[in-house]
A and B are shown apart, each in its own frame.
Chain A
Amino acid sequence: MLDVVRPKIDIRGVSKTYASERGPVLALRGTDLTVNEGEFVSIVGPSGCGKSTLLYVVGGFLEADGQVIIDGAPITGPGTDRGIVFQEYALFPWLTVRDNIGYGLERQGLPAIDCEKIIDRLIGVIGLAGFDNRFPRELSGGMKQRVAIARTLARDPAILLLDEPFGALDAQTREIMQDELLRIWLETRKTVLLVTHDVTEAVFLSNRICVMSARPGQIIEEFAVALDRERPREELVLSADFNTIRNEVWLSVRRQALAAGQQNAEPS
């Protein structure tokens, strides 16, 4: 039900330089991107192009030149309006599944009864009933990532920042997790910014795909994805329109990857 298109995230001329042993490295150069409310946008690009860096800047974890504007106000640091999920799960290893999911709620100062209700519901959503009191080390990769997603959803952020969330999972688990993420997004219509190197994943999940150039990263190409998300996965993935757009994006990323390869081969 998106009547009015409203910009949720506005990235304006963001540049980021890292200090390294061989001098400063420019990771991002004047990156611009606007993500509208309720939109699912993916950023793809060759490895090392700075796509994760851009996500961390939006998260407020890294300082950078330029501006990130959320709901019209520039950000000053991390905030609970932007939930984040990392590839390496980043669960608190000393907390149980239940306490991990409840961490943000407890910080919020919610009454215990309400916390318990939300946690119970989310454990049901991610299908981990009965695992409440397990520690992260006792869980498989897929289970850990489910808990990480539930932990982020518990705080009900308006924006989800996903940093290659399924990159460490096996192919089958990854597809199941994508289905679940899609379902959650269709239900909640949160604004999502996903960083991935998996082109099929990007096409399967997003409304819009941004391709980043090799370092220093910039968004150089955008693809609108107008696919019917209600269709079952098999039908969608095998359809001609899905594959047309997948091939286009893949070619675009490949061009960047080749350019990056040449850059690296040049003597500096």
Chain B
Amino acid sequence: MPNRRKGTLAAALRLMGRALPLVLFGVVWQVVVSSGLINREFLPPPTAVAVAFADLFTGGDIAKNLFVTLFRAGAGLLIGAACGVWIGVMMARSQRFKDYVMPIVGGTYSLPKSALIPLFALWFGIGNVTAIAAVFLACLLPMIVNTYHGVMTTPKVLVWSAQALGTTRREVWSRVYLRNALPDIFTGLRIALGFSFVLAISAEMIASTNGIGKLIFMYGENGTYDYMFAAIACVVIVAFFADRGLLLITRRLLGWHESAVADHDRRRA
């Protein structure tokens, strides 16, 4: 099957092409450190980071902490997404609700949520609740905004068609508005996913006894920067795969949506 071989070869080349910027980045990093441009005490070379990375994994410490961080990010994301969708729908349903919530949403939109972590630590103590609360708050806003947008942009004719086909006023919410908002909800979810990692780790750096964030903070304090970078790399890798996973689910679920076609065509070209 020469065709298939050509296909895998092309795929491999494409993958290499995509990895090229990363490889170049690594090379520049190595050169900068090796040439003595930056003191290797402050910036360990990628080779040292790789050794530290391997050491972290064989030690098994990282897995436990990673699980803790994932739990906090996931729990906050899940609760934040559920509440965000609910609030977004309620804002679209009731003008009065919107009048109350909109100023709060607008006011807290640009607020750095990590600034509230010390306060949360005061209220909820050191550990899970503080981290989850911070993640929850950060995930809430993109979910509200995107859900609201998705519901509000539902074409009137879709709602009317559904009603003329025997859908009650109540059913229209689940059968039309939410379905129409689904692509936007997933856009919100993708933004919130990124926030969830950022906030979970920030909270752990400030107010936690475990988790990857605590690990990063500890290594930084101790000046073991190779280990600190290894822990950061670990987060980057996990976050990358979480994002890819969500994208995969989105494509599966939203095969009907225009954006799914565009994406498909782009990958083909």
Contact = CB atoms under 8 A, between A and B. Distances in A.
B255 A90 contact: no
B166 A108 contact: yes
Interface string A141-158: 000000010011001010
B258 interface: yes
A90 B160 contact: yes
User: Which label, helix, strand, loop or mixed, suits the secondary structure of the B interface?
Assistant: helix
Contacts of B180: 94
A155 B165 contact: yes
Interface string B216-233: 000000000000000000
A104 B157 contact: no
A92 B164 CA distance: 13
A107 B155 contact: no
Nearest to A134: B256
Contacts of B65: none
B51 interface: no
Given A93-B256, A135-B255, A137-B258, A107 B167 contact: yes
B261 interface: yes
Nearest to B167: A107
A226 to B, nearest CB: 31
B170 to A, nearest CB: 13
Contacts of B165: 80, 83, 103-104, 107, 151-152, 155
A218 to B, nearest CB: 24
A90 B161 contact: yes
A55 B221 CA distance: 72
A202 interface: no
A88 interface: yes
A86 B256 contact: no
A78 interface: yes
B64 interface: no
A61 B179 CA distance: 21
A216 interface: no
Contact of B163 (A61, A108, A135, A148): A61
B158 interface: yes
A135 B157 contact: no
A155 B256 CA distance: 24
A205 interface: no
A62 to B, nearest CB: 9
A257 to B, nearest CB: 26
A137 B256 contact: yes
B3 to A, nearest CB: 27
Contacts of A94: 179-180, 182, 256-257
26 contacts: A56-B160, A59-B160, A60-B163, A61-B160, A78-B164, A80-B164, A80-B165, A84-B161, A84-B164, A90-B160, A90-B161, A92-B161, A92-B162, A92-B176, A92-B179, A93-B256, A94-B180, A94-B257, A95-B256, A103-B165, A104-B165, A107-B166, A107-B167, A137-B257, A152-B164, A157-B164
The 5 closest A-B pairs by CB, nearest first: A104-B165, A90-B157, A78-B163, A107-B166, A135-B256
Interface of B: 155-158, 160-167, 176, 179-180, 182, 255-258, 261
Interface of A: 56, 59-61, 77-80, 82-84, 86, 88, 90, 92-95, 103-104, 107-108, 135-137, 148, 151-152, 155, 157
